[in-house]
Structure 1
Amino acid sequence: MAKALLLMALCLLLTLATVSHPVKDPLKVEGKVYFDTCCANFETFATTYIADALLVSSPQADCAIASPSRDRARVIVTSYNSITSSNRYVS
């Protein structure tokens, strides 16, 4: 019984030490939001980039509809994938 209690205490201590460890270099996700002026569903020379915009809303009244195929992006948010930078880029 004492060994089991000691083992549980050791596991709890290791778990607390792992969880409380701060991340030394947090990951940063960056991306761009743009207004598709040509309705081409890709960036062109006439593309207007929108600062401080969320995909659910836009500061420009004529740019309120998100393209169904470009309304989200998958980002690999881990440090264990051979990417040396802490930045992750989304288009």
Structure 2
Amino acid sequence: MAGTAKALALLCFLSALAIAHCEHFIVQGRVYCDTCRFGFETKASTYIPGAKVRVECKDRTTGQMTYSIEGITDETGTYKIPVEEDRPDEICEAILVSSPISDCKEFESGRERARILLTKDNGISNHVRFANSLGFIKDKPLPGCSELLKQYELDE
């Protein structure tokens, strides 16, 4: 029994050590459709399943692309893209690629990319890196958006 306890303790220690030295990350975020064309996420925004997102990293000095990988959002509009290796000297971003919704395919200005830090040397102990939401904008606003805008103006 004592040998089993020691083996279990060793296994736990090695697992913790492996996690501490883990050099992979999960970039996670959501993709939405700005159904009111307000330029930001609202309670009327919808999340887009099947949207394509790419994580790109570039050398901080030369600007040359060093890494690129694509992912697709799930039924909740959430993407989780695995990234190999620590990237301390690179600028990395989650970038919108495409939307499967025919009337919500235009990139929302300022919401088409989100910068992310992909290094273990930044004080964050979790390997998941959360990116700001990325957005497309609907061709025409939904009915009821003007009433929603009035609610936001009253909240000031």
TM-score w.r.t. length of structure 2:
0.42
Distance, in Å, in 2 between the alignment partners of 1:60 and 1:81 is 37
Q: What is the 5 A alignment of 1:72-91? A: 72-91=113-132
Does the aligned pair in 1 maintain the 2:30–2:47 contact within 8 Å? Answer: yes
Give CA-to-partner distance per residue, 1:1-22, whole Å, 9 cap, x none: xxxxxxxxxxxxxxxxxxxxxx
Higher strand share: 2
In structure 2, what is the equivalent of residue 9 of structure 1? none
In structure 1, what is the equivalent of residue 36 of structure 2? 38
What percentage of aligned pairs have identical amino acids?
43
Alignment of 1:64 with 2:62, yes or no, is no
CA-based RMSD of the aligned residues comes to: 1.4
Flag structure 2 segments of 5+ consecutive residues without an equivalent.
1-20, 53-95, 133-156
Flag structure 1 segments of 5+ consecutive residues without an equivalent.
1-22
Higher helix share: 1
Q: Shift of residue 56 of structure 1?
A: 2.3
Pick from 39, 44, 47 the counterpart of residue 45 of structure 2.
Answer: 47
- Secondary structure of 1:32's partner? strand
The aligned length equals: 69
Give CA-to-partner distance per residue, 1:6-42, whole Å, 9 cap, x none: xxxxxxxxxxxxxxxxx63511100110000011111
Q: Shift of residue 68 of structure 1?
A: 1.9
Does the aligned pair in 1 maintain the 2:27–2:128 contact within 8 Å? Answer: yes
Distance, in Å, in 2 between the alignment partners of 1:32 and 1:69 is 15
Give the greater-gyration-radius structure (CA): 1
After the TM superposition, which segments of 4 or more aligned residues of structure 1 sit over 4 Å from their partners? none
Does the aligned pair in 1 maintain the 2:39–2:109 contact within 8 Å? Answer: no
Give CA-to-partner distance per residue, 1:19-76, whole Å, 9 cap, x none: xxxx635111001100000111111111100023122211100101001211111100
> Which gives a bigger RCO, structure 1 or 2 (Cα 8 Å, sep 6+)?
1
